[in-house]
Amino acid sequence: MAALNYVGSRRGKLAYAGCVYAALILLTVVFLFPLYWIVSLSLKTRMQVFSKPPLFLWWPTFENYAAVSHSADFGQAFINSLVVSGGAVSLSLLVGVPAAYAFARFPFLGRNFLFFSLLAMRMLPPIAVLVPMYVLFSKLGLTTTRISVILAYTTFSLPLVVWIMRGFFEDLPRELEESAWVDGASRYQTFYYVVLPLIRPGLVAASILCLQLAWNDFLFSAVLTNNATRTLPVLMVVFSGGDSGVDWGSMTASGVLVILPVIIFSFLAQRHLVSGLSSGAVKG
Amino acid sequence: MGGTTSTAGRAAITASAGPHVNTSAAGRWLDRQFVRFAVAPTTLMMLGVFGVPLLLSGMLSFQGWEATRGLFAGEFVGFDNYQDLLTDPNFLTSIRMTVIYTALTVAAELALGLAIALLLNIDLPYIVVFRTVLIIPMMITPVVASFCWKLLLDPDHGVINYWIGEHIVWLGNPSTALFAVAVVAVWQAAPYVSILLLAGLRSLPHEPVEAAKIDGASVLQTFWHITLPLLRPYFLVALLLRTIFEFRAFDNIYVLTGGGPANATMTLSQFTYLTSFVKFDMSLGSAASWLMLLMSMLLCLFFMTTVRRRDAN
């Protein structure tokens, strides 16, 4: 916009626009190449993957995807990922949305402390929380269960939900709630029947962002699951563990299948990305 | 009084709550407890997954650890675990590597992110396409992103070695491994920084820039003296967030090098992970994680006071 606007002749403007486009196209090529490469490898046969020079034109094969979709391990991990991320998001919404409303609307004792702790939960290194969590969960007999992973995920999804939803609640005009109270509705009724329907877009945004974080997590799931309960990222790492003899075709195919839902989700929530990403940012 | 009631709100209430409006003493008491009931689940949850575990690991870090013994049956050893860590050359190396890794990645992410944001901020036809496409790397699951780069950097079959025509073992060489690991982080986080900064650029007031232009300032002068200072709060937020997240980086390092070769990529997260979940020394791991916690808390405090002071001026 203003900062780099070139003021000058028509030809100068065209040349300027040309330079900008050239730079952007170069950036796009560089930034998207790794992604293009993993997709292209997933569509090659075992021979084509290792061909030299690398193939840029070939007849795509879907045999890798067929192999992956028939693998029991992948199916199980996919279900685990779905259950665990879905569970973490639902739990965080259920617990965090009323709290976000209270944060946005009512002064109460310990509000700042609680909010600061939520921020700390999001900001502090997960590995530091994971060590004691593992100890506690093994004491309770919860390790290697999906519940333990869901609980662990709330360390990042709960703060995210509270942060995002607090913003949405604050933007809501107070008049609707006040008139509901005047009409004799209880706070619970007002919250459930008046406020919640109005912030549905916020709920969607918060769930998508949490879902993305939970789906992408590796560390918590790597420590807290076993072969039966592991999620997709853990499965990817286990399969790519050995240096030689790794089947590039099926590895890349499963990689593509792992990131596809996330990319779709993210585009759905793109409008809210900035507010969600800066969640936890200190506002002065 | 009812005159101010919005019809939507009233309709919603009468439709759902029915004619009975709860005005009993119990109902009023319940109403006064609303905030408590709203906040209690979150508080309990935080205690359960955050507060109690942290206290436990605080306790563990002062105890000796034996796998054969039950939890918390270890004897009190004072600061032994901490002393072991702070005299362990591997741990000290991991502190140094974490600082180097964080400084390297954050600097690259901010520089590249700013460049991308400035380009994306220029109003040209179809710029929206680039705004959309360029942020894709940050959405990718970190494990998959790292795996992707592992294939690109593969010494024998990787396309990068093919292009430069040399056989470089990127991940097996202490002098290149850190850069390889950092590249993945920068690739994913530069778009993230760029959308934060782009949001900042979009919200800047037009007047100062236009005034500078009228006064005859060059594009570079305007950028350096007007745009950058105005952008500073956004820049600080990006710096804060990226430093915190790179300080704890784990996935890319674990997948690409696992801390090696020769500790060249052994960051604090890696060290703590290996101590706790590979060597299974939970007491030492707890001590390491508490030191890590303290360091990141100091980091946060430092940034917060910096931001506050800047705002006050």
Contact A213, A156 (CB under 8 A): yes
H or E element at residue B310: helix B282-312
Flag if B148 and A255 touch (Cβ within 8 Å). Answer: yes
Interface test with B, best of A50, A122, A127 (most B CBs within 10 A): A127
Contact at 8 Å (CB) between A184 and B21? yes
| C-alpha separations of B306 from B100, B104, B236, B244, B247 in Å | 22, 21, 9, 15, 18
- Please, are residues A224 and A136 in contact by the beta-carbon 8 Å criterion? no
Whether chain B has a CB inside 8 Å of the CB on A126: the answer is yes
Binned at pLDDT 50, 70 and 90, residue B15 comes out as very low
Task: Please tell me the distance from the alpha carbon of residue B157 to that of residue A44, in angstroms, as a whole number.
Answer: 14
Label residue B114 by pLDDT band (50, 70, 90). Answer: very high
Give the Cα separation of A162 and A152 in Å (integer): 16
A133/chain B closest Cα distance in angstroms? 5
For residue B202, tell me if it sits in a domain.
Answer: yes
pLDDT digits (tens, 9 = 90+) for B77-106: 888 889 989 999 999 999 999 999 999 999
User: What is the spatial distance between Cα A34 and Cα A61, in angstroms, rounded to a whole number?
Assistant: 19
B70 or A116, which is more confident: A116
Closest Cβ–Cβ partner in A52, A120, A176 for B9:
A176
Q: Do B148 and B11 belong to one domain? A: no
| Partner residue opposite B13 with nearest CB, options A138, A151, A189 | A189
- B248 within 8 A of B162, measured Cβ to Cβ: no
Residue A250 pLDDT: 83
Count how many pairs of residues, chain A against chain B, have C-beta atoms within 8 Å: 333
* For residue A53, cis peptide bond before it (omega within 30 degrees of 0): yes
Query: Which residues in chain B have Cβ-Cβ distances shorter than 8 Å to A233?
Result: 141-144, 251
pLDDT band at B312 (very low <50, low <70, confident <90, very high): low
Round to the nearest angstrom and report the end-to-end CA distance of chain A.
27
Q: Which A residues in the span 181-200 are in contact with B, Cβ-Cβ below 8 Å?
A: 182-194, 197
pLDDT at B48 over 60: yes
Say whether A263 and B6 touch across the interface (CB within 8 A). Answer: no
Spell out, as residue ranges, where chain A has pLDDT lower than 70. Answer: 1-8, 241-246, 270-284
How far is C-alpha A209 from the chain's CA centre? 5
Domain A65-277: give its CATH code: 1.10.3720.10
Helix (H, G, I), strand (E, B) or coil at B63: strand
| Cβ <8 Å between A151 and B22 | no
- Domain contains B71: no
CA distance A95 to A161: 9
B177-191 pLDDT per residue, tens:
999 999 999 999 999
Nearest one of B162, B128, B145, B141 to A35, comparing CA atoms = B145
Burial of B150 (0-12, 13-18, 19+ CB in 10 A): buried
pTM: 0.87
Which of A95, A131, A281 is opposite residue B41, by nearest beta carbon?
A95
Q: What is the mean pLDDT of chain B?
A: 85
DSSP letter for each residue of B140-207: S-HHHHHHHHHHHT-TTT-HHHHHHTS---GGGSHHHHHHHHHHHHHHHHHHHHHHHHHHHHHHS-SH
In the predicted model, what is the mean pLDDT of residues B256-285? Answer: 89
Q: How far apart are CA A82 and CA A40, in angstroms?
A: 26
Pair B47, B111 in one domain: no
B187: closest chain A residue by CA: A31
Cβ neighbours of A208 in B, within 8 Å: none
d(CA A241, CA A236): 8
Q: For residue A251, what is the nearest residue in chain B, using CA coordinates?
A: B147
Contact B49 A133 (CB under 8 A): yes
- At A18, which helix (H) or strand (E)? helix A10-42
Taking CA atoms, what residue in A is nearest to B304?
Answer: A282
B274 and B307 co-located in one domain: yes
CATH number at residue B194: 1.10.3720.10
Minimum-distance CB partner of A263 among B22, B136, B162:
B136
Q: CB of A154 within 8 A of CB of A94?
A: no
For an interface test with A, the pick among B139, B281, B305 (most A C-beta atoms closer than 10 Å) comes out as B139
pLDDT band at B73 (very low <50, low <70, confident <90, very high): low
Residues of A in contact with B38 (CB under 8 A): 98-99, 101-102, 191
Task: Flag whether residue A50 sits within 8 Å of chain B, measured between CB atoms.
Answer: yes
Q: Answer yes or no: is B180 within a domain.
A: yes
Residues B28 and B143 in one domain: no
| Structure confidence by residue, pLDDT tens digits, B196-239 | 999 889 888 888 888 888 888 888 888 888 888 889 888 888 99
CB A96 within 8 A of CB B17: no
Q: Do B49 and A155 touch (CB under 8 A)?
A: yes
Residue B12 placed within a domain: yes
Closest chain A residue to the Cα of B200, Cα to Cα: A274
Q: Are residues B35 and B128 in the same domain?
A: no
Task: Determine contact, residues B234/B307, Cβ cutoff 8 Å.
Answer: no
Rg (CA), chain A: 24
pLDDT at A3 (0 to 100): 42
ipTM rounded to 2 decimals = 0.87
Domain co-membership, B156 together with B282: yes
Q: Provide the domain count of chain B.
A: 2
Are B149 and B27 found together in one domain? no
Q: Which residues contact A89 (CB under 8 A, 6 or more apart)?
A: A157, A207, A210, A211, A214
Is-contact B219 B201, C-beta < 8 A?
Answer: no
Six-digit token pair at A218?
């590796």
Task: Give ranges for CATH 1.10.3720.10 in chain A.
Answer: 65-277
Secondary structure (H, E, C), A232-280: HHHHHHHHHCCCCCCCHHHHHHHHHHHHHHHHHHHHHCHHHHHHHHCCC
Same domain, yes or no: B129 and B187: yes
Q: Quick one: pLDDT band at residue B10, thresholds 50, 70, 90? A: very low
Range scoring the smallest mean pLDDT among A93-102, A168-177, B9-18, B159-168: B9-18
Residue B66: inside a domain: no
pLDDT at residue number B140: 92
The pLDDT score that the predictor gives to residue B41 is 93
Helix count and strand count (H, E) for chain B: 17, 0
Residue B89, domain member (yes or no):
yes
B-chain CB neighbours of A232 within 8 Å are 141
Q: Looking at CA atoms only, how far is residue A214 from chain B in angstroms? A: 10
Backbone phi, then psi, for A257, in 5-degree steps? Answer: -65, -30
- Does residue B67 lie in a domain region? no
Percent of chain B with pLDDT over 90: 35
Spatial separation of the C-alpha atoms in residues A239 and B100, rounded to whole Å? 30
Are A277 and B296 in contact (CB < 8 Å)?
no
Closest residue by Cα to residue A121 from B113, B3, B248? B248
Give the domain range for residue B90. 80-312
Query: Does residue B303 or residue A218 have the better pLDDT?
Result: A218
Sign of the CA dihedral B17, B23, B27, B28?
A: positive
Selected for mutation to probe chain A from B39, B126, B246 (highest A CB count within 10 Å) is B39
Does some domain include residue B72?
A: no
